[in-house]
Structure 1
Amino acid sequence: MRVDGRVVVITGAAGGIGAALARRFAAEGAAGIVLSDLDLDAVTALAGELKVDAQGVRTDVTVSDEVRALVDAALRRYGRVDLFCSNAGITTGIGLEDGDALWQRSWAVNVQAHVYAARAVLPAMLERGEGYLLQTCSAAGLLTAVGDAPYTVTKHAAVALAEWLSITYGDRGIRVSALCPQGVDTPMLRDGLDAGHVGARVTAASGAVLSPDDVADAVIAGLADERFLILPHPEVGTYLAHKTQNPDRWLAGMRRLAGGIAG
């Protein structure tokens, strides 16, 4: 898929990867962009900066009716949604300690939000016989997030959902990509570093920390090739191969890495 002339919806668009995607899609000539976030002021301001038709919509992606309303707003304005970028996500920095509220919030944002988006946008896409779902899943969904159990588990679930959607709807004109970056210079990573989260420190130490614009470049290339896995950090593919070829060795290496960072 090429973005020029397309209608795009982006969640988690107030900053970081979401905002970078919006700017890049606008530069590519998108026909219209709907920017969604809890921070309405931020996405409204961003919409005003873009040199294409755009609007900001406040959406809590953990509420099914609000996600459906977001899709309905895009359909009313543009008549179609060509690409839905389910991008909102959160980290926690916790393990197995008593943090049920954070576990539930992680499931809601990192998994159920993707379910609600697909449920809302797929009927119109299937009726037209085409559409694209881009789901931000993180390298943690393929590998792990040391020190953050909820993030690891929910991002694995997000990749699994993307796989299921591709298998189920791929022959009906629906294309699916899982965006799996590693370290990206976003408020999420910076907040984790400021809080001293081991996972954020491992991520920052494990390879290059890309800018959100770098990720947007990778997305444009991945969409053009219609690749399922979009890996802004190519080394993630190498790590994944090592993991699948010899899980025990990979786990031992991750323990050493985590222990060195924590120490």
Structure 2
Amino acid sequence: MELAERHVVITGAGSGIGRALAKRIACERPRALVLADVNLDAVGAVAREVEGLAVQTDVGREEEIRALVERAREHAGAIDLFCSNAGVPGPGGGPEAPDDELQRTWEVNVMAHVWAARAVLPEMVDRGEGYLLTTASAAGLLTQVSALAYSITKHAAVAAAEWIAINYGDAGIKVSCLCPLGVRTPMLDTAFEDRIGAAALLRDELLEPDDVA
């Protein structure tokens, strides 16, 4: 999709891949760039840098995603590209992880993509075009030995993106899914039980967020 004069929304835009996406897309002169993050200070700083609109959003709550979409529409009309980028590492280990931590990881890493699609797809289908970009992980393609929650949720995120692409492609909806290996982000810093990221780091093969964007 050519991004000039397009309306773009990015979640998890306060740092890491989301911040890099915001900076990269801003260079394409979009009509509007709406940036969301649970950390308002962080996303506000990025928004000032790229002349975007910052919206504090917890993507683990459907009502906040709906509010984000409505705020974006009030700001600049129909959304052309929705980058569902926010994610959490979740608990390490296997099924012994606490239910509340597993549930939170599921809501942020999986349901946020479903809720975003629910909010934006009807209007995109009516217009006959729209683009969804999902940030998943290589852990969505390979089993991640050290973290059940992260592995399951990233596999599910990839599956959701594939399902939308197959079922909505004829309606003009495009879908892409980012599945990078280790990326040097704050999330990796706080989740070194991530063996995929750790192995990449030991080989000095971590990607920079700008490389992914």
| TM-score w.r.t. length of structure 2 | 0.94
Counterpart in 1 of 2:45?
Answer: 45
Residues in 2 aligned to 1:119 and 1:207: alpha-carbon distance in whole angstroms: 39
Q: Within 5 A, what are the aligned runs for 1:94-133?
A: 94-133=93-132
Residues in 2 aligned to 1:130 and 1:160: alpha-carbon distance in whole angstroms: 21
1:192 aligned counterpart, secondary structure: coil
User: 1:100: how far off?
Assistant: 1.6
- Of 72, 75, 79, 2:73 maps to 75
8 A Cα contact 1:93 1:199, kept in partner: no
User: Are 1:186 and 2:188 an aligned pair?
Assistant: no
Q: What do the CA deviations read for 1:12-64 (whole angstroms, capped 9, x no partner)?
A: 111000000001100121221100011112212211111x4x10001111111
Paired amino acid for 1:57: V
Counterpart in 1 of 2:211?
Answer: 214
8 A Cα contact 2:183 2:197, kept in partner: no
Q: In angstroms, what is the RMSD of aligned CA positions?
A: 1.5
Q: Within 5 A, what are the aligned runs for 1:1-263?
A: 1-50=1-50, 52=51, 54-91=52-89, 92-193=91-192, 198-205=195-202, 208-216=205-213
- CA, structure 1 residues 179+98, in 2 after alignment: closer, same or farther (shift >3 Å)? closer
Residues in 2 aligned to 1:24 and 1:203: alpha-carbon distance in whole angstroms: 24
1:204 aligned counterpart, secondary structure: helix
8 A Cα contact 1:183 1:207, kept in partner: no
Paired amino acid for 1:166: A
Residues in 2 aligned to 1:198 and 1:90: alpha-carbon distance in whole angstroms: 15
Counterpart in 2 of 1:226?
Answer: none
Structure 2 regions of 5+ residues with no counterpart? none
Residues in 2 aligned to 1:60 and 1:86: alpha-carbon distance in whole angstroms: 12
Paired amino acid for 1:189: L
- CA, structure 1 residues 86+197, in 2 after alignment: closer, same or farther (shift >3 Å)? closer
8 A Cα contact 1:93 1:198, kept in partner: no
Residues in 1 aligned to 2:176 and 2:203: alpha-carbon distance in whole angstroms: 24
- Poorly superposed stretches of 4+, deviation over 3 Å: 196-200
Give the length in aligned residue pairs.
Answer: 212
Identity of aligned residues (%): 55
Residues in 2 aligned to 1:183 and 1:207: alpha-carbon distance in whole angstroms: 10
| TM-score w.r.t. length of structure 1 | 0.77
Q: Which has the larger radius of gyration?
A: 1
8 A Cα contact 2:161 2:176, kept in partner: yes
8 A Cα contact 2:181 2:196, kept in partner: no
